[in-house]
Chain A
Amino acid sequence: MTALAIETYGLRKRFGEKLAVADLSLTLKRGEVFGFLGPNGAGKTTSLKMLLGLIEPTAGSGTLLGRPIGDRVTRGRVGFLPEHFRFQDWLTGRELLRFHGKLYGLRGRALDGRADQLLARVDLLDAADRPIKGYSKGMTQRIGLAQALLNEPDIVFLDEPTSGLDPLGRLLVRDLIRELRDGGTSVFLNSHLLGEVEATCDRVVFVKQGRVVHELDMAVRTHGLEVELRVEGAPERLLAEHGMLLGHADGVVRLRVPDDEALPRLAEALVRSGAKLYGMTAHRKSLEETFLTVMGEDQRPG
């Protein structure tokens, strides 16, 4: 068994004149929760559909769970929640799970048991026997999530899973993603909600025009902390020893330091040097800031 859940080389998709994905090369380790970020129109959904075999790439190649992408048998170990997804809405929630379970090859008691278990997990047991067309947007999204987990997949693709969900629904998705990771399942998460990604992902990549432009390991964020000091008489040399000076104006110094441990050291050094320290605040650079920096100023809302 290969250690990689996904590996692609130069995937490209062209729809007529329009180049949707230019050159997508990425890897996803097994058991990893992977965030796929980019502005609207960056080719995120097209990339995901190529990995699932829903769209044939114009060029390039890749593997999913060690088999060439598009392989039918591999899809039996994959779960998928599409964006704006629509199901056979004349079915009840339970019927939908049974039907999709059959397509995964599940039968009889095993299928019924799994369906009940998932209905309980996504909190839809009481609505299980009502037609889906009467469900709210959040309920539809949750039954879709249950559908994506029927086969106890090795990898789950979630395309905007929290769109349309209220805060409780989002929390449920977040918990589910953690459970999946704890169970060794890889998760490929396509989301605009950066807070969501920040809370759940192990690693994120940023895509722009169908290319990976930046990669970020969420566990080892290399960007460090930004510190704001209200200080008087601090020698520049001393500040520079502790981090990278970002700005200095009106008694406020902005500095980037490598980690939390740098903070007490910096405070101590400042006090010893005789400088007057009035205040000190530190914050981690948010994913949103990184996103805006990576995507550049030229990006317009998609």
Chain B
Amino acid sequence: MRALLTIAHLTLHEAARRRILTATLIGAVAFLVLYGIGFHFVARNIQQQAGPSALQQRFLLNFLTLAGLYATHFLTLMTAVLLPVDTLSGEIASGVAQTLASKPVRRSDIVLGKWLAFCTVTVAYFVVVAGGVLLLARLLGHFTPPGLAQGLPLMAFEAVVFVSLSLAGGARLSTVTNGIMAFGLYGLAFIGGWVEQVGTMAGNVAAQNVGTVASLIMPTEALWQRAAYYMQPSIMRDLNMTPFSAGSLPSPAMVWYAIGYALLALAWGIRGFRKRAL
């Protein structure tokens, strides 16, 4: 356990020293500034117009906030893929892994220490960006979406899924191959999710099945859909009024599936690193 924490500490130290944290934070702030400006003007427009009813105003503000959270979901997943993508493959290629693995340390502790550190950084990033989006919505639009207690943990868990996958891939694949695999899976889940939404709206069963299969291959989009479901007023969900209203709500089993998926990915990575000739 001590070795695991030492590795985690070193990984965090590396992220800070190599200005990875600074770069990530600057990106987050830039996004929040842009989002705040946009939100400000749209919210002012909504509030100044005499037309929309209170319900319509609420609908628009919820849509805006969810759009911000969707962007957060995307940015968090990018961070979750990019942060750990070369940590194992890079250290294996450079020989740094040799000096670590020749110490009295379990190889699994090396993987798990890094996993812990990258999960911490990515989830912290998510908390900053999602917190910023919600704070802006509160300050500029006097609006807070419902169901945050259920929605936000699901979104944070999406990051854990991708950190596990990207880290594990590095134990077996080169950095480039690993990046292509992770982004490929993200793209597949993204397209699959939207095909499913459109399929549900149009009543097309084949399209819905495409979405389900995509969710099994990469369950993060399903987690997002379930999170978005919680974070909308029930009337909007029922009326399918926004692109974020999940036409077909992923079942709770999907959450368990995603947990199993992350654990398996991690186990696959640990096994790969243990067998790997360094």
Contacts and interface: CB of A to CB of B under 8 A. Distances in A.
A104 B6 CA distance: 11
A17 to B, nearest CB: 15
Given A15-B277, A88-B10, A90-B17, A100 B103 contact: yes
Interface in B93-119: 94-96, 98-106
Given A103-B6, A105-B2, A90 B102 contact: no
Interface stretch (A74-82, A259-267, A288-296): A74-82
Contacts of A102: 2-3, 6
Given A54-B101, A54-B102, A76-B104, A103 B96 contact: no
What is the interface of chain B mostly: helix, strand, loop, or mixed? Answer: helix
Interface in A101-141: 102-105
A56 B275 contact: yes
Given A82-B98, A103-B6, A105-B104, A88 B275 contact: no
Interface residues of B, number: 23
A53 interface: yes
A86 B277 contact: no
B140 to A, nearest CB: 40
Given A54-B278, A56-B277, A86 B102 contact: no
Nearest to A73: B104
A49 B278 contact: yes
Contact of B104 (A75, A82, A87): A75
A99 B13 CA distance: 11
A85 interface: yes
Contacts of B275: 56
Contact of A103 (B14, B18, B95, B104): B104
Given A15-B277, A54-B277, A90-B17, A85 B100 contact: no
Contacts of A99: 6, 10
B17, B94, B104, B105 pick with most chain A CB within 10 angstroms: B104
B275 to A, nearest CB: 7
Contact of A72 (B2, B13, B106, B278): B106
Contact of B102 (A53, A73, A87): A53
A105 B278 CA distance: 22
A49 B277 CA distance: 9
A88 B91 CA distance: 9
A82 B103 contact: no
B98 A54 contact: yes
A207 interface: no
Contacts of B96: 86-88
Contact of A87 (B13, B99, B105, B278): B99
B159 to A, nearest CB: 25
B105 A55 contact: no
Given A54-B278, A73-B104, A147 B17 contact: no
Interface of B: 2-3, 6, 10, 13-14, 17-18, 94-96, 98-106, 275, 277-278
10 tightest A-B contacts by CB?
A76-B104, A103-B103, A75-B104, A54-B278, A80-B102, A55-B277, A86-B94, A102-B6, A90-B17, A82-B98
Interface of A: 15, 49, 52-56, 72-76, 78, 80, 82, 84-88, 90-91, 99-100, 102-105, 147
17 contacts: A15-B277, A49-B98, A49-B278, A53-B101, A54-B98, A54-B101, A56-B275, A56-B277, A72-B104, A80-B98, A82-B99, A88-B10, A90-B14, A91-B17, A102-B3, A103-B6, A105-B104
